[in-house]
Amino acid sequence: MKNYILEKSSLTKFDYAKLPDYIKMRNNSLIFFTKTNNFRADPYTGTMLVYDYSFCRFGPKKTDRHTNLIIHFPNITLNDVKKKYFHYYKSRCTFQRDYNCDSQYLTLHLRDGCKFTKQKEIRIYFYFADLMILNDCVLY
């Protein structure tokens, strides 16, 4: 995994020791690779979940994985991901001053936080991927 990250990303160094133990203890990793230039959900999030349930688990929970699920976006930077999040925050967050409150979203937001109003690619990618390799960083 360390060699793959160093060879396939623009990172010049990567501290494998800082990865969580649950990632390091697994002997195998499935790398979902796409050359897209757009950090978006479809079709990548759905495909990623199929790979997760079909090839990475022995049980129904994420903690039942025998294989790491890694997604690799070589043409996307952390800044691209941040732009998606900031766009959501500026236009859809119910606590923004100018937000036109919809009581359904406000109720969900107050009860469960932003997970019901933020964009699905952010929720799904960061919930299901053990590791996300971007052009300029690794997220875990």
DSSP string, 67-89: EEEEEEETT--HHHHHHHHHHHH
Query: Greatest CA span in the chain, whole angstroms?
Result: 49
Do residues 93 and 99 make contact, with C-beta atoms less than 8 angstroms apart? yes
Query: How does pLDDT run across 27-59, given as a tens digit for each residue?
Result: 999 999 999 988 877 788 888 889 999 999 999
Write down the pLDDT at residue 65.
92
Write down the pLDDT at residue 47.
87
What would the two tokens of residue 31 be? 């790398």
Write down the pLDDT at residue 117.
57
More confident residue, 79 or 45: 79
Please report, rounded to a whole number, the percentage of residues in the chain having pLDDT higher than 70: 76
Cα–Cα distance, 41 to 103 (Å, whole number): 26
Do residues 8 and 72 make contact, with C-beta atoms less than 8 angstroms apart? yes
